[in-house]
Amino acid sequence: MGEIQKVGVVGLGAMGAGIAQLCVEAGVDTVGREVTAELGEKARDRIGHFLTRKVEKGQLDQSARDEAVGRLTLTTELEDFAGCGLVIEAIVEELEPKRELFAELDRICGPEAVLATNTSALSVTEIAAATTRPERIVGMHFFNPAPLMPLVEIVRAELTADEPFETAYAFGERIGKTPIRCHDTPGFVVNRVLIPLLNDCIRVLDEARVTPEDLDTGLKNGAGWPMGPCALVDLVGIDVHVHASEALYEKTREPRMAPPPRLVAMRNAGLLGRKSGRGFYSY
């Protein structure tokens, strides 16, 4: 299969908008789908804002910025993905909505299209099983914030064939990421390590009676982390982290995977981190 000419991104929340930003910056025509036109516009504004910051900092020409934003077409219709060689899904992190979406994409997209999920803790194989082309389904797992974090995990599901797998890998490189290849196991590579590690960090808050500020100072200055664990969970979203922990615990039954009660209580109280204005810190 030749180089991907047009890419689709389904769901333009923080992750989807970040992925769409990477695609348009790399010169790829991109169709972004949100459920309402207003949400689509919000995502385009977010992308425009971050690209404007690059112009202001001398990292990008104004004309290149405008061309990049111009490469993004917004839609609310999945039918508009018909001409895409690759579609990357970044919708709600729940299995059934993802399976329904992939069944629809399978119906709409050409037979050569590669369909990728950005799931962080669900099974790519189970999502692929909702389609008639499981050999063309892969995981492309980006990290938050997608435009800044270099890694993308290229995940091979049980039936993924070599060619679509390598197409996804090559596309990851083309948009400036550092891809790694792995198999479809709970949490893949990084979350398999990072989620229990962050859960341990949160448990230490109570065990060592350390404040979130001091814990973050500890990991930044004693372990070289770019940001502390409490700030990181706030960035990822406490709801997202709890949900991913629950999914991994369900699959592995390892106690360290289970979300610490403190995080569950914060999630239940609506303290979701940066996006809600309050988590361990106020924003």
**How many Cβ atoms sit within 10 Å of the Cβ of residue 46?**
17
Q: Smallest gap, in angstroms, from Cβ of residue 2 to ligand CAA? A: 29
By beta-carbon proximity to ligand CAA, the closer residue of 1 and 252 is 252
Is 268 considered catalytic here?
no
DSSP 94: -
By CB under 6 A, the residues from 134 to 163 that bind ligand CAA are: 143-145, 147-149
Min dist. Cβ of residue 234 to ligand CAA (A): 11
Q: Is 160 or 245 the residue whose CB approaches ligand CAA more closely?
A: 245
Residue 232 makes contact with ligand CAA by CB under 6 A: yes
Catalytic residue selected from 25, 34, 93, 120: 120
Phi, psi of 276 (to 5 degrees): -100, 0
Does 18 interact with ligand CAA (rule: CB under 6 A)? yes
∠ CA 129-88-70, rounded to 5° = 155
**CB 75 to ligand CAA: min, Å:** 22
Q: Does 226 bind ligand CAA (CB under 6 A)?
A: yes
For 172-230, the DSSP string reads HHHTT-EEEEEE--TTTTHHHHHHHHHHHHHHHHHHTT--HHHHHHHHHHHH--SS-HH
Q: What is the DSSP string of 135-187?
A: GGEEEEEE-SSTTT--EEEEEE-TT--HHHHHHHHHHHHHTT-EEEEEE--TT
Using CB under 6 A as the criterion, what x/- string covers residues 80-109 for binding ligand CAA?
------------------------------
State yes or no: is 241 an active-site residue: no
Contacts (Cβ under 8 Å, ≥6 apart) of 232: 198, 225
> Does residue 136 contact residue 161 with C-beta atoms inside 8 Å?
yes
Q: Answer yes or no: 221 catalytic.
A: no
Per CB under 6 A, 13 contacts ligand CAA: no
DSSP state letter for 93: S
Applying the rule CB under 6 A, the residues between 37 and 66 that interact with ligand CAA are 50, 53
* 282 included as an active-site residue: no
Query: Is the backbone peptide bond immediately before 186 cis, with ω within 30 degrees of 0?
Result: no
At closest approach, how far in Å is the CB of 176 from ligand CAA? 13
Site residues for ligand CAA per CB under 6 A: 18, 50, 53, 120, 143-145, 147-149, 191, 194, 226-227, 232, 236, 240, 244
Residue positions annotated with a catalytic role: 120, 141, 153, 191
